Amino acid sequence: MKEIKNPMGNVYVSHRAISTIAHQSAIESYGVVGLAAKNFAEGIAQAIVKDPSMGVDVRYDGNSIEIDLFIVVEYGTRIKMVAESVSNNVRYRVEKTIGIPVEKVNVHIRALRISDTD
């Protein structure tokens, strides 16, 4: 949890808030079909409860943020370009919204999906 102090009081930003921003940014990126579960247990939990931060892992060391994304990519797109786009988009959105530098955005491609069968 990040604490921001100012003369009016304190602001606390949770890992879940950062995860939700990163999740939304990744979903809006070109070539991304969705986010995948980080592991089997998260996949089971997602089937029961819809979690807006699924597929995102956030670590904060007090100075900077490190984000891991587990994405599903559209078949036929250039995977390297999609991963770079997602990384840049998430880094920009999180830094702009929260105001904390993002040290790393690690993009893990979990699967490819064919959306259009024509």
pLDDT at 114 over 90: no
pLDDT digits (tens, 9 = 90+) for 79-102: 999 999 999 999 999 999 988 899
Q: What superfamily does domain 2-113 belong to in CATH?
A: Cation efflux protein, cytoplasmic domain (3.30.70.1350)
pLDDT given for residue 97 in this prediction? 92
Q: Which of helix, strand or coil describes residue 66?
A: strand
For strands 56-60 and 65-74, give the pairing.
Answer: antiparallel
pLDDT score, position 14: 84
pLDDT tens for 15-55 read 888 999 999 999 999 999 988 877 656 555 555 556 667 78
Residue 64: phi and psi, rounded to 5, are -145, 165
- The reported pLDDT for the residue numbered 99 is 85
CB-CB contact of 55 with 37 (8 Å): yes
Q: Check: pTM over 0.75? Answer yes or no.
A: yes
In the predicted structure, residue 10 carries a pLDDT above the cut 90: no
- 25 vs 28: CA distance, rounded Å: 5
- What does the pLDDT read at residue 66? 94
Residue 9 has pLDDT above 90, yes or no: no
